[in-house]
Amino acid sequence: MESNATRNHPADCDVTVQLSDCGRQDAQAVFDTLDRVFAGCDMPAPGPEQAHDHEPTVWMATFDSSARSGELPGPPDLSTPVTALLTGDHHAVAEVEKALGGLFEVRSSSSVSGEHEKEARLLLASRYVTH
């Protein structure tokens, strides 16, 4: 179901975020954090927990990169590194990539650019704050 916030923005602000190599709790932690950064996001409810630990799962949500809600929240904890695939307009992907870099340790990064879209693949891990 679309909200007014997602219907009233340019489509080139949308970034599709696909998470893999992680469990439901880690995917939810990443999406919840992005949801606090980018207001007006549409995200489907998480599906049921997988019966088999080895069954591959991809978690997906779309975020409006133009709807920044303010400061970055504190970095969430992940139980394992998470692979994130970002797809969308060059500027929109760069905005989400920048936010993820402020929230997580980015252990690896690669990207492919097309004429109208960019695809970025990141390996995210927990960022531990030292005092």
pLDDT digits (tens, 9 = 90+) for 2-51: 444 445 667 788 999 999 999 999 999 999 899 888 865 555 555 555 55
Q: Residue ranges per domain, the chain?
A: 4-126
Give the model's pLDDT for residue 12. Answer: 81
Residue of 8 and 103 predicted with greater confidence:
103
108-120: average pLDDT: 91
Amino acid at site 97: E
76-99: average pLDDT: 94
Angstrom distance (rounded) from CA 47 to CA 50: 9
Give the model's pLDDT for residue 1. Answer: 38
Q: How confident is the model at residue 120 (pLDDT cuts 50, 70, 90)?
A: very high
Question: At how many degrees (to 10) do helices 90-103 and 24-37 cross?
Answer: 110
Angstrom distance (rounded) from CA 109 to CA 125: 12
Residue of 31 and 68 predicted with greater confidence:
31
Angstrom distance (rounded) from CA 35 to CA 49: 21
Give yes or no for residue 52 having a pLDDT over 90.
Answer: no
Percentage of residues of the chain with pLDDT beyond 90: 50
Contacts of 11 (CB under 8 A, 6+ apart): none
User: Of the CATH numbers 3.40.1710, 3.30.450, 3.30.70, 2.60.120, which one belongs to the domain with range 4-126?
Assistant: 3.30.70
Give the model's pLDDT for residue 74. Answer: 79
